Amino acid sequence: MKKNEISILGSGLIGSLMSIYLKKRGLDVQVYEKRADNRKVEYKEEGRSINMALSDRGWKALDKAGLRDKVLPLTIPMYGRKIHDEHGKTTFIPYGKEGQAIYSISRGRFNQLLVEEAEKLGVEVHFDHRVDEIDLRTNEILVTNPEGIQEKIPSNVIIGADGAYSALRNAMLKQVRFDYKQEYISHGYKELTIPATEAGEFAMDPNALHIWPRGSFMLIALPNPDKSFTCTLFLPFDGERVCFENIRDEKDLVGMFQTYFDDAFQLMPDLVGEYFRNHTSALINIECYPWMLKNAILIGDSSHAMVPFYGQGMNCGFEDCYVLDGLIEKLGTNVWELIFAKFQKMRKPNTDAISQLAMENFEEMRNEVADPKFLIRKKIETKLHELYPKDWIPLYTMVTFSDIPYSEAYAQGKLQKKIMDKVMSNPLITQNWNKLDYEDIVNQMDKAKAF
Amino acid sequence: MKKNEISILGSGLIGSLMSIYLKKRGLDVQVYEKRADNRKVEYKEEGRSINMALSDRGWKALDKAGLRDKVLPLTIPMYGRKIHDEHGKTTFIPYGKEGQAIYSISRGRFNQLLVEEAEKLGVEVHFDHRVDEIDLRTNEILVTNPEGIQEKIPSNVIIGADGAYSALRNAMLKQVRFDYKQEYISHGYKELTIPATEAGEFAMDPNALHIWPRGSFMLIALPNPDKSFTCTLFLPFDGERVCFENIRDEKDLVGMFQTYFDDAFQLMPDLVGEYFRNHTSALINIECYPWMLKNAILIGDSSHAMVPFYGQGMNCGFEDCYVLDGLIEKLGTNVWELIFAKFQKMRKPNTDAISQLAMENFEEMRNEVADPKFLIRKKIETKLHELYPKDWIPLYTMVTFSDIPYSEAYAQGKLQKKIMDKVMSNPLITQNWNKLDYEDIVNQMDKAKAF
């Protein structure tokens, strides 16, 4: 049987972009995808979020493939968080400087575009092909095709872009000295909708990511091009207080929404139907190492699935593709083991850092953003960044609006936090935040970095 | 097809003891074991240590099954560590009070005895039966029998005592909200032998566990009834200094042994042959939760494989059996889900604690025991225990010579360590350790515990 030059497992966002990069390097690329072609059947995601937020790292990777102009029309810019309190009062907190935004995009439509672009270049995408097993000694993939027949596909290179439940990773798991961790958090999520108004308009400001932070739980909403919002409700699975387990019927549900999310509730005519129809999904964090074995490599969620609270899962996966393609550019297409070894070594500290930040940001989103002091903190950091644009870059900006390695952003963020905690401990901070000695604050950062 | 009342996966030490307990409660017990019956073929362990050290928790569990008298003749008591320095000079450090010992026993012979006892009671052990898959919805086990035919075996209860690479755990791994972690340490090990002398005697003191601590690596030796010692060499897999990767030929090997383990080297006539014949094994730590799904439960290494440096892997697995049997005794044989839920909740903090201690003890064994201050520290703690037998029980004693829950031992050990670190920071401690204010030290412990 003919040997594939490159086999990619998964035609999701990451697998599709990787296939485009590799095809552009003149390689033969075959992609195996267990789902049906979503351009032919009605698009349906199960247990995965519908909206993504594209930020700078994602755009940079799309630019390299020449795709920005095609993707931009599918997006809606969100310039900041809009925080909703219990009384429906909102506060807007910008994400960055004027004009800086993250971009809401629907996963389904975006994925279709990337698959189309890949196919235009000559990538072969095999839908309805389930990967059953991978033989890591021979680099053979065992797939079941749509007719139910198993085929054994020898491959020179296997790239696992097959997500949190990766078949390639499962094969690696059985290898000696493969470190692996999967961890579910105590919260799950459920998707709900705020539809367009009767007049066909957005029911809320479309250029913001809406958050209803309630301490141990929260609701968020992202805009869609059809003028609806996709809402995601994050609750603990079980416990004493508000949790999925304790919402047993319409009365429980409506009572909870009226108490905590009344302004959103007024905009959700089908809340009850959706709530009891839609699946409750779990949130997993996955870490593993190594990511490679000979000519096989894991990228994206397959090696580092993260919780969604920094909006970086997709962006980080795209950056994986960008970094990997950069190594291929430099080292050629004959030294895959060397490329993969360099890739995992460079990349692992960065994916560890963003996974950790994503975990920590959950606390910030559902709790801290509701604190008036959070706004002051953001204002001080914005001003520091204005005054000393190179010496103080807020953590969110480093992660979202730069390509500073995540690990470096993480380390600097920790130093900043220490200094800001001290600044914020001033009991009069709410009154005098504008009169602080900003030079002194930024000097503390320089001093801390020197160590 | 007839439904099994109890199916146990694995007829190793833990599976066999569990089968004995359950059979004694009048249950029908079927055990599936992928290996051949080691009473019929030559006994050969691959990648698992040959000697175990039985301590109090293990004996307590054997007592409950009435097996102490049958096991005792297979053991050799070890009353302490014998530390060998680079010049062959030895120092003896007792494990506990006079008469307290841990007991060296060969895994193979011990396992045979437990299987025989189980069969005598009527347990059916199916050797050469490989478990391929477990259907957790239906509680069916798919096994391949010695004729190569697959059978589907429905079971009321499934107990996974099938070790670090457990098939039951693999089935659970695919369930939502199953937390899992497997982690290999940087060191591997290789087994070697010090045979009996030409006169047919032990070549060293048989009543001690011998240790050659060398900082980043070590050699240990345990006595066998045939008057040989089984030695285990622990080295990093790779690195700059002494490691498995850097021992490429006879010259490297002999040079290393002559430099670091010369007294042992003189007693190892077949070192070179054994070293290059024997496999280098990796060391894994496994944690997961939950341990159960409906009527299926994990026990022993399948849920908490630990590194071997506290000698508690088997003892902890036996204690699992003891605790589980205690719950069955109390709650009956009709409420398996309740029993398993209580079991995992009680047991998990304890297995986490001993796994952590096992990891920490590696540092102690290969490094600290070589420090003369270690001996002083042990002497002070021994004296504290003599003077205040209830208020100061050394950590090693709590773990090895008591059945205090591991988690409690762990917590007390941490308090003791803090106090002892302070005591040992006295620059004159080597001279004046015998004149310390022991009452004051033990009072610090009481104070610390009050918090």
Do A179 and B182 count as a contact with CB atoms less than 8 A apart?
yes
Residue A232 tokens, joined? 């995601």
Chain B residues inside the 8 Å CB shell of A178: 182, 184
Encoded amino acid at A42, one letter: E
For every residue of A106-125, DSSP letters joined together read EHHHHHHHHHHHHHHHT-EE
The DSSP element (H or E) to which A46 belongs, if any, is none
Residue A370 CA to residue A389 CA, distance in Å, equals 27
Chain B residues inside the 8 Å CB shell of A173: 182
Question: Packing angle between helix A313-331 and helix A336-366, nearest 10 degrees?
Answer: 160
Token pair 């004493």 is found at A240
Residue B179 CA to residue A425 CA, distance in Å, equals 37
Residue A295 tokens, joined? 């000519």
Question: Packing angle between helix B372-387 and helix B406-424, nearest 10 degrees?
Answer: 120
Torsion sign, CA atoms B413, B414, B419, B422: positive
Domain range A4-76+103-182+284-361, CATH class? alpha beta
Q: What distance lies between CA A173 and its chain's CA centroid?
A: 24
Residue B431 tokens, joined? 């001279």
CB atoms within 10 A of CB B268: 20
Percentage above 90 pLDDT, chain A: 91
How many inter-chain contacts (A to B, CB under 8 Å) are there? Answer: 34
- pLDDT tens figures, A388-414: 999 999 999 999 999 999 999 999 999
Residue A112 tokens, joined? 């279709």
Residue B293: per-residue pLDDT: 97
Average pLDDT, chain B: 95
Residue B39: per-residue pLDDT: 81
Do B282 and A179 count as a contact with CB atoms less than 8 A apart?
no
Residue A333 CA to residue A27 CA, distance in Å, equals 9
The answer to whether B46 faces chain A, any CB pair under 8 Å, is no
Answer yes or no: are the C-beta atoms of A323 and A346 closer than 8 Å.
yes
Shortest CA distance from A181: residue in chain B: B181
Percentage above 90 pLDDT, chain B: 91
- Best of B179, B280, B284 to disrupt the A interface (most A CBs within 10 Å) is B179
- pLDDT tens figures, A316-333: 999 999 999 999 999 999
Q: Nearest CA of chain B to the CA of A385: how many Å? A: 40
Residue A67: per-residue pLDDT: 98
Q: Which of B165, B179, B182 sits opposite A183 (nearest CB)?
A: B179
Q: What distance lies between CA B70 and its chain's CA centroid?
A: 21
Residue B93 CA to residue A50 CA, distance in Å, equals 64
Chain A residues inside the 8 Å CB shell of B181: 180-183
CB atoms within 10 A of CB A2: 7
Answer yes or no: are the C-beta atoms of B325 and B21 closer than 8 Å.
yes
Closest CA to B183 of A234, A289, A388: A289
Answer yes or no: are the C-beta atoms of B328 and B339 closer than 8 Å.
yes
Residue B32 tokens, joined? 């599936």
Domain range B4-45+56-74+107-182+284-361, CATH class? alpha beta
The answer to whether B181 faces chain A, any CB pair under 8 Å, is yes
List beta partners, residue B138. none
Q: Nearest CA of chain B to the CA of A184: how many Å? A: 5
Residue B213 CA to residue B362 CA, distance in Å, equals 10
- Each domain of chain B, given as residue ranges in start order, spans 4-45+56-74+107-182+284-361, 371-450
The DSSP element (H or E) to which B430 belongs, if any, is helix B429-432
Residue A46: per-residue pLDDT: 44
Q: Nearest CA of chain A to the CA of B290: how many Å? A: 11
Residue A368: per-residue pLDDT: 87
Going by DSSP bridges, is the β-strand pair A4-9/A29-32 parallel, antiparallel, or unpaired? parallel
Percentage above 70 pLDDT, chain A: 98
Chain A residues inside the 8 Å CB shell of B165: 174
By CB atoms closer than 10 A (0-12, 13-18, 19+), residue B49 is middle
A131: Cβ contacts below 8 Å, ≥ 6 apart:
A9, A32, A34, A141, A142, A143, A162, A167, A168
Residue B408: per-residue pLDDT: 97
Q: Nearest CA of chain B to the CA of A150: how many Å? A: 19
Q: Which residue has the higher pLDDT, A48 or A361?
A: A361
Do A237 and B173 count as a contact with CB atoms less than 8 A apart?
no
Q: Nearest CA of chain A to the CA of B182: how many Å? A: 5
Shortest CA distance from B165: residue in chain A: A174
Chain A residues inside the 8 Å CB shell of B178: 182, 184
Residue B46: per-residue pLDDT: 44
Helices (H), B279-371: 301-304, 313-331, 336-366
Residue A451: per-residue pLDDT: 65
Do B183 and A178 count as a contact with CB atoms less than 8 A apart?
no
Residue A167 CA to residue A146 CA, distance in Å, equals 18
The answer to whether A282 faces chain B, any CB pair under 8 Å, is yes
Residue B109 CA to residue B75 CA, distance in Å, equals 10
Residue B402 CA to residue B427 CA, distance in Å, equals 33
